[in-house]
Amino acid sequence: MTGRTIRIFLADGKPSGILTAEIMNWTGKVVICPRTDLQRLADRPECRRSGAYILAGPDPDDPYGERAYIGESDNVFARLKQHAADASKEFRTRCALIISKDENLTKAHVKYLESRLVGLAHEASRCVLENGNDPSSPSLPESDIADMEFFLSQL
């Protein structure tokens, strides 16, 4: 395997604030945001794109454990605002948005990512997953599945 360059940008100039992460020559982008900075995330136009997201934080039932919720939306920020008002998501201390720099992720693509991320989270067994169900994988052409699997491999 050849090396890769990961670019991490501290949007607030501090590692505890909003940050973005990109791998050179990859169309994906990850935006990490602490719960306390959710309103500042509204200023970032890429957060209103289609994407998958992960809400994460300490497990209130296990002081050493983690709890997570994985979802998708056509407008990730709008969905995060809905979760902010949901008492069942109070465990969340941070979120990770998974989007595309070139805006080429469709609803079917992000549903595929959500389904695969939930499956991978179950396999890893490193946190309590709050998802009430296992989202089904949408029907995608073989070429799109290959593209999404490459996207996931970079993620």
CA angle at residue 47 from 4 to 20, to 5 degrees? Answer: 30
Q: How far apart are CA 90 and CA 147, in angstroms?
A: 34
Residue 113 dihedral angles phi and psi, to the nearest 5°: -60, -45
Amino acid at 44: R
* Domains in the chain: boundaries: 6-150
Neighbours of 106 (CB within 10 A): 15
Give the model's pLDDT for residue 76.
94
Token pair in block for residue 127: 């946190």
CA atoms within 13 A on the CB side of 63: 0
Give the model's pLDDT for residue 49.
93
Q: What is the pTM (predicted TM-score) of this model?
A: 0.92
Amino acid at 98: I
Q: Is 60 exposed, middle or buried (0-12, 13-18, 19+ CB in 10 A)?
A: exposed
CA angle at residue 138 from 126 to 118, to 5 degrees? Answer: 5
Inter-residue contact 31 to 41 (CB < 8 Å): yes
Give the model's pLDDT for residue 136.
83
Inter-residue contact 98 to 154 (CB < 8 Å): no
Mean pLDDT, consecutive 10-residue segments, the chain of 155 residues?
Answer: 89 94 93 93 92 94 93 94 86 94 92 96 92 85 95 93
Give the model's pLDDT for residue 93.
92
Q: How far apart are CA 153 and CA 148, in angstroms?
A: 9
Inter-residue contact 84 to 38 (CB < 8 Å): yes
Q: What is the DSSP letter of 36?
A: G
